[in-house]
Each structure stands twice: as structure tokens, then as C-alpha cells.
Structure 1
């Protein structure tokens, strides 16, 4: 594919150091000098220096300045980047300029990407405080659900930009999601006055036909290793966008959201959980090759009932072209799920939800908490993170809602049987340990032979052992219920609340 280039461009000397600063889009008003990091503002043909920008921290994103691709049949070039931070981590928004000089943003979203274009409202933009998380509102005649309302701040920037909020000063950013027709994401950025609006949809990097991505040399082990701040052991980071990782030696959770070069925060954790599928395992699932890169154990309890608790496991899977998805191990079976781009419609009494034309019935409502983590994560995972969850189902299809005061995350997927999991990850020798609610009695012929008796005896023995395990197990570290009651489903509390929200 030929490299894209704008029809017109403007270049002037940086007021700080004299190096050339280029503007490819007439809509761009700000830039960060690549040499002295001066922040400059453009007024006609004049550049004025208004300060100095903090350097972006190296998060090893596959994107970089001057990467090129195509979106909706139009060529574009990445010319700038905004790095935002909020209470749970950080994310990038990449400024893309099209061949005609117009621009959009390629933003991080739930371990994937959303391509957004500028938009406007036919009325004045409401104040951020008027958007209540979980509420439904109409924007330009279309229904949207408020997915997040966060206080964020600009951590750093580089390149050419159409907007530039004050460095380090908090401001509101609201995100709304719609399921009307094609799932859409509407962002309202209150870092400028008037607020900036953008509307977009989910994209795969492979579909954008991108060229000029970061070279493989950027992933050298030497550049991605550091000493654990708790025990000093070497920790290697394998994924480009990891925001959190656990130390293999002391099991501490290490915060990477400010980059490896920044001060690393850590949290010690005990009570190690035994993983049925080890980290690093690769498997063929749903037509793609996945690698297990992260794991978290979570606990649930019905509101007002602390006596009965149940635990489940979530394996974070990664594919270079498809991004991230979750393999969930609950008492009643396995499921494969991922965050949705659009927002399902919750009924007035919250007893059902509708998504992409399918109605899902409420199965469970409960409080959830993360109790143990291992591996790498694209969000800043922590022990003790809490959410309120609702799980819905329609046959083998699952839908889950996770909510905190500032964020709502929907996830969807479907059940799979334990045989599929065992074969996908090459662990048939552990097949018995993977069996859950999908392990049903096997019908037989009339008449019972000796072999059948032996098999039935073995099955009964295994069931008794499993029953004993579940009635005496600790749901903080095992996939079971503390009361020994009927099997409970995580429904796919898929990935934790911090996996969703405002392009994070």
C-alpha cells in the first residue's frame, strides 16, 4: 500500500529550539516539538511556545507516529498521541490525519481499539455531572447508555494535535455506548471548552491495513525487564499494553501504568491459587490461536448474605490480531467472553437485557471481589477490586453487567464444554479436573456388566470426592461455594470492571 500523505502541510521552526514543527491538518492547533518537547500553539502562520510537555512513558504500544492505514476507504497517517491517566491506569489516543486533512482518533478500548471521528450535538452539551453511570439518555435522537464518568488528566503528549487539555489538571471524560444499529461509542471530553465530542466504532488493527508499526526489535527482552520492587527478582513483560503484572518469585502485583521507567508500586499477596491452565499455555479456540497471559480468582456473594460465598476463575487470553478475550471457569461450566462495544438495553425491572436482537433473562445478582491475580493485564488489576454484577443468559449465550460508581461494563459470550477446553490447550490428562456442570450422566444399554459396575463405582467415588472438596473448600482460592449449595455461575464477570470504560 502506498504511503498516505496530506494534500497540504505547514511547517515552521519551533520557538524553543528552532527544529522544524509540522502540521499536516488545518484542524490541528497544537504540537509538541520532537526535539525539545516544547508545547507550541499555532495561530495562522505563527507558532507560540506555551510551555514544555512531559515525555510520554514507553508503554510499548504497537502503534507509533507516522504509522499509516485505511479507515472507511480513506487513507490516514498517525501524527500525534495523547496519554491520559485516571485512577485505575492510563491509555493512549492516537491522532490520525486523513488524506484530505480532516482528522480522527484511534483510541484504546477494552484491550482493543475504537476509531472515532469528531461530531457535534444539536443542542448545548450537558454538564458532566448530569450523566449518571448506568442511565440511558438520547443523543441526537439515538439512545445511549452512560458507560463511564471519570476524572482524568493529561499525562503526556507528542506530535501534532487538534486539542491539548492542560497538563496534569483533572477534568471529566464521559463515555456513552449505543446498541442502535451498529454498536457505537460516544466520547465527551471536558478538557476543552466547549467540550469535544467524538463518535466511533470498534476496529481491529489488522483490518486497518496498518503499515509502519513498531518494529519487532522494540520488544527485546532487555527493554522489558526490571527488578521486582518487593523482592528484587527479574520480571519480564511480554505484552505491549500491560498495565499490571505479577512477580513470579514473590507473587506481588506490580503497577506498570506509569511505564517501567517510573516508580513501580506493588502489593503483596498470599494464598496462591493453583491454575488448571498454566500461564503461557497456547491453544486453538474459536478459530484462533490464543495464549494464556493472565489469571484472576474472584469471589461472589449475594447482597446482604455474607454466609454463602462462591469463587470462580478467569483466564485472560491474547491473540495479536484479535486482542484479548476471557476464558471463565465457573461452577456450572466454562465460557468464552469479551467486553462488548455496544451497550445492551436493561429492562426497567432489571430482570432481562436485550443485545443485538436477543433477549437475555436474569440469572444471578451478586457482589464480586478480586482475591488473587497472576500474569499480565491490559488494565491495572488489584486485589480487593469490587463490583456489583448481574448475569443474564439465553440458552448457551451469556451476558454480564459489572458496575461501580464510575463505570459500567457489559460483556458477552457463550458456554463451551470442558472437553473443548481440554483439547484446545492440550491438557487432556487433566480433563477430570476441568469437568463442571456440563459433565452429565452417560446413558447406557439395558443390563449392567462388571465393567459398567466398576465405571459407575468410580464415577460415584469421584462425585463424592468432589462433593467433599466443595463443601470444605475455601472460595477465596478455589472454584466452589462455601455453603456447598447448588452450582453458581460467574455468568462471566468477565475481566473485572477496570477492563471497560473510557477507551482504557
Structure 2
């Protein structure tokens, strides 16, 4: 545990209520009084109250203040302790950033990233970064001489905080956040100051994805002792009770009328909803629990998606099951007509060979482009940690290697990558104890993974005409025969702007 930090602690009465407020790091400028929620700013040995912090929402995270762990830095294990957290919101959802103090006194952060965790340290820049407007999503730029892909550029706001923090933008005030992702799995986050504020940039940090179990945490919340505070409300369409299991949920569907309900603005006030007809019956039930790749998962969401290649009138479909694990975050189990796959959001961004993007290299593996297509969400069920709706559209690219899969999805404000591998239908059936449905789950697992398109009427007519011509030729001469085949479309996953950045 990180209990021997070289810096002395500083404690003083809260200017709001008189309760003790403690600063464990000399780099912490702000602290939130745990008794009256006053926002306290420190200037030397003087504390001043600058407002009151909004109440935290329960994100069901196993992390909590004063939990301690170890991170491998500079070829040595460095103890750290969580001393603060801030909760941010964008149009794609809410995420939490935990402030950590290392044993040597440096500050770090453990941040959520698309349902996973990233451990970041402050980054010193060799030259100032341009304004946020300069970073267009999808372009490549250089930071300290290294190329990065611009993955995210949007306005965000602070909604709440706890403990002590080195920076604290005003609650509810929008500011720009730009995320850059590298081919080695690293991510750079540039937090700009609110308009008219000096300096123009609040902070710049660089991090990598980590697993909570690898951080050797002590002092995490005891799940068995945690009081469940499930939220319940009446469906705005049919009035049936709707139960929300995860407080990070931004979209949920009513099990009675299948309406999609938007929770991104909370449960207070009027809830927006969209009706869905012709509900799809999932092969794996929502709420089902199973073990895949050594991890215990629960199915919390489902979406059906359709794809179409530009200039092609054929469409193809596939299903995505959103899986949740308390320590691993979220992953996707994807079902297409050619097979099953297990994919998760990638922290970094692969390097594409050229403008035509025929290959992409990620963490030393080169993937070959198989398909480029437009994708659309046509049906959703369950809970999602980012706002989901019917009709959401993305532009997708699917790459594959001998054993791996790589997918890129792009919207005007974000580029996301997912990485994974194929799994057999037998593995899926065994994992969720669905051996009695093995035939329904069965896919052509040995073929290259792609979502096979439906054959159009035009294609059938063309094949029949060609067949007649071949027969006529064979009847008129000894002839020779030939043929050709074409496989169109394909997707193994990705997801629609799956929120929770940083």
C-alpha cells in the first residue's frame, strides 16, 4: 500500500462547515469537503470556499477513495493511492477519472475508457498544442515527434467530484477534450480550459490500458456488502415499471413495449422514448451469465445492426451482445452468419498503410482490409453505457489477420477501434449453458469471418441467365466451363460511439 509518501499531509478546517479537510499531495489544488460538499481551493496554507459540489452518482465502480494498488512504471512496481475522483459528461455518456498519488509524490490518474481502464501520467510537451478546432477526427498528427490519430474531439463538462484534485473546471461549464491514439496502444488526452480562461490548456496526459486485477488493489468496495440501489421508473410509453441495474446506463428498453428510453439526462423530468415494432428474440437471454476467455460475464444489452457497401444494393445483418464484468468493464459478443467473435474497445489506434487503408497495424500485428461499409442500428434491447437509438449510423472498416479481428467505426465526432478474435459456437453454447440450442447457435465457424449478405433478386436472375447461356454453349459445342464467385460485405463488430472517454 502507498502509505509512505514522502510529502507531509496538510489539514485545515473547511471554510464552509469547519470540518477537517486534508491534502495529501502538494500538487492538489482543490478538495471537496466530505461533510458539506464545499469546493475548497488551497493557496499556500489558506483555504477558500469557492462553491458547492453536486452529489456524486453511484457508478457501481469497485473503486473508492483510499484504495491502493501497484502499477509497473519504469521497470519497477510503484505503489499508489486513490485520493480523488471527478465525473465528466459528454453527448456520448459519463465517465469517471480517479486522481492517484504515487509513492514518489507524482500525480497520476486512473480513468475509464469505453468501459475499460487507462492509467495516465502527465505528459510534458515539446511545443504547445494548437486549439481544439485544429484537431479534425480521423486525421494524423504528431505529438513529441510521434504520430497519433485524432479519435475524439467534443465539448464535455464536469458534473461532480470528490476528494482532492490537481484541476477542477467549473461544474456544468463546457470545455473541449481531444483524444489522440497511437499504434502502440497508448492514448493522449488534451483537456482545454473553458473559453476565456487562462491557461488555454488545463492538462495533457498519456496512458495505457490496464486491468484492475493487474494493479493488485487493496481496499476495493466489498460487492457482497454493497447496498444495491436499483432505480425504477414508469415507462413513458406504456407505464410499465422499468428497472435500471447499472447507474452508468444511458439507454434502456422497456421489456413490456420494447420502447427505447433515453436516460442520458437522468430520471427527473420527461423521459424521451422511441417505439420499436417487431421485437427480435435474442438467442442468448438478457441477464444470462457465462464464462468466456476465463472471465465471468453478464449479458446486459443487445443490438441488431445492418450493413451495406457503398454502391451495393445488398444488405447484411449481425447481432451484438453487450457483456459486463465488474472489473473488466464491457466487451461485445458478436454473432454473424459466418461465425461468433469476442471483441473489446481498443485503447490505441492502429496505423493504416495509406489513404486506401488496405492494411492496418496494431501492437505488432498487421491486419488486411476485408470490407468497408455503412452500418445502421435497427433494434436494441437492454441497457447500454452510451446513448443508443435506432437509426444510428457509422462508417465501418473490417480488417482481419490469421487469428485476429480489427474494426474501425467513424462518426463526425469520434473514431473507435475494436479488437478481438473468433470463437466457436460450441464455446458460446457451453459458456451460457445453451447446449440445447447448439443447432441455433451453430455457424460456419471454419470459414473466414464475415457477415454474409442476403442474396438479392437481381443476383438470382443474373445467375439463372448465366446458367441458361452456359447450357446453350455446352449444347452447341464441346465447350469449356468457367465460373466466378463474389463475397460481399461483412462485419464482426464494433459499436456505435460507445461513450465513456478518457
TM-score range, shorter chain: 0.7 to 0.9
Q: How far is 1:411 from its partner?
A: 0.9
Please tell me whether the aligned partners of residues 8 and 24 of structure 1 are also in contact (alpha carbons under 8 angstroms): yes
Question: TM-score, structure 2 length as denominator?
Answer: 0.85
Is 1:418 equivalent to 2:425 in the alignment? yes
Please tell me whether the aligned partners of residues 452 and 489 of structure 2 are also in contact (alpha carbons under 8 angstroms): no
Q: How far is 1:121 from its partner?
A: 0.5
Q: How far is 1:257 from its partner?
A: 4.0
Q: Which of these residues, 475, 483, 487, is aligned with residue 456 of structure 2?
A: 483
| Cα distance, 1:27–1:3 mapped onto 2, change above 3 Å | closer
Cα RMSD, aligned residues only:
2.5
Is 1:118 equivalent to 2:122 in the alignment? yes
Q: Which of these residues, 221, 227, 230, is aligned with residue 233 of structure 2?
A: 227
Q: Structure 1, residues 255-312: CA drift from partner, whole Å, max 9, x if none?
A: 444556787544332221110111122233223332222111111122344x322211
Q: How far is 1:169 from its partner?
A: 1.4
Whole-angstrom distance in 2 between the partners of 1:200 and 1:439: 37
Q: Which of these residues, 100, 103, 111, is aligned with residue 99 of structure 1?
A: 103
Q: Structure 1, residues 41-68: CA drift from partner, whole Å, max 9, x if none?
A: 1110111122222222222222222222
Q: Which of these residues, 336, 339, 349, is aligned with residue 343 of structure 1?
A: 349
Whole-angstrom distance in 1 between the partners of 2:284 and 2:65: 38
Is 1:249 equivalent to 2:251 in the alignment? no
Whole-angstrom distance in 2 between the partners of 1:159 and 1:284: 36
Please tell me whether the aligned partners of residues 106 and 114 of structure 1 are also in contact (alpha carbons under 8 angstroms): yes
Task: Kindly report which structure 2 residues correspond to 1:462-473, keeping only aligned pairs within 5 A, or say none.
Answer: none
Q: How far is 1:479 from its partner?
A: 8.9
Q: Structure 1, residues 148-188: CA drift from partner, whole Å, max 9, x if none?
A: 111111112222110011221111100111124xx211100
Is 1:309 equivalent to 2:315 in the alignment? yes
Please tell me whether the aligned partners of residues 2 and 102 of structure 2 are also in contact (alpha carbons under 8 angstroms): no
Whole-angstrom distance in 1 between the partners of 2:4 and 2:242: 39
Task: Kindly report which structure 2 residues correspond to 1:194-273, keeping only aligned pairs within 5 A, or say none.
Answer: 194-195=200-201, 196-216=203-223, 219-221=226-228, 223-230=229-236, 231-239=238-246, 241-258=248-265, 264-273=271-280
Q: Could you tell which deviates more after superposition, 426-435 or 162-171?
A: 426-435
| Cα distance, 1:316–1:87 mapped onto 2, change above 3 Å | same
| Cα distance, 1:479–1:63 mapped onto 2, change above 3 Å | farther
What secondary structure sits across from 2:440 in the alignment? Answer: helix
Which residue in 1 is equivalent to 2:441?
434
Q: Structure 1, residues 206-240: CA drift from partner, whole Å, max 9, x if none?
A: 1112222233367544x113123424433333346
Whole-angstrom distance in 1 between the partners of 2:154 and 2:14: 34
Q: How far is 1:34 from its partner?
A: 2.0
Q: How far is 1:5 from its partner?
A: 5.8
**Structure 2, gaps ≥5 residues long:** 460-485
Q: How far is 1:329 from its partner?
A: 0.9
Which residue in 2 is equivalent to 1:329?
335
Q: How far is 1:354 from its partner?
A: 1.4
Which residue in 1 is equivalent to 2:497?
497
Please tell me whether the aligned partners of residues 5 and 105 of structure 2 are also in contact (alpha carbons under 8 angstroms): no
Please tell me whether the aligned partners of residues 59 and 242 of structure 1 are also in contact (alpha carbons under 8 angstroms): no
Please tell me whether the aligned partners of residues 149 and 172 of structure 1 are also in contact (alpha carbons under 8 angstroms): yes
What secondary structure sits across from 2:249 in the alignment? Answer: coil
Which residue in 2 is equivalent to 1:191?
193
Please tell me whether the aligned partners of residues 366 and 389 of structure 1 are also in contact (alpha carbons under 8 angstroms): yes
Please tell me whether the aligned partners of residues 6 and 98 of structure 1 are also in contact (alpha carbons under 8 angstroms): no
Q: Structure 1, residues 394-422: CA drift from partner, whole Å, max 9, x if none?
A: 23421111001111011111222323322
| Cα distance, 1:114–1:362 mapped onto 2, change above 3 Å | same
Q: How far is 1:245 from its partner?
A: 2.6
Q: Which of these residues, 320, 324, 329, is aligned with residue 318 of structure 1?
A: 324
What secondary structure sits across from 1:395 in the alignment? Answer: coil
Task: Kindly report which structure 2 residues correspond to 1:45-60, keeping only aligned pairs within 5 A, or say none.
Answer: 45-60=45-60
Q: How far is 1:480 from its partner?
A: 6.0
Whole-angstrom distance in 2 between the partners of 1:283 and 1:411: 21
Whole-angstrom distance in 2 between the partners of 1:100 and 1:284: 39
Is 1:276 equivalent to 2:276 in the alignment? no
Is 1:150 equivalent to 2:157 in the alignment? no
Please tell me whether the aligned partners of residues 331 and 488 of structure 1 are also in contact (alpha carbons under 8 angstroms): no
Q: How far is 1:114 from its partner?
A: 0.4
| Cα distance, 1:488–1:219 mapped onto 2, change above 3 Å | farther
Please tell me whether the aligned partners of residues 113 and 202 of structure 1 are also in contact (alpha carbons under 8 angstroms): yes
Please tell me whether the aligned partners of residues 332 and 489 of structure 1 are also in contact (alpha carbons under 8 angstroms): no
| Cα distance, 1:296–1:99 mapped onto 2, change above 3 Å | same
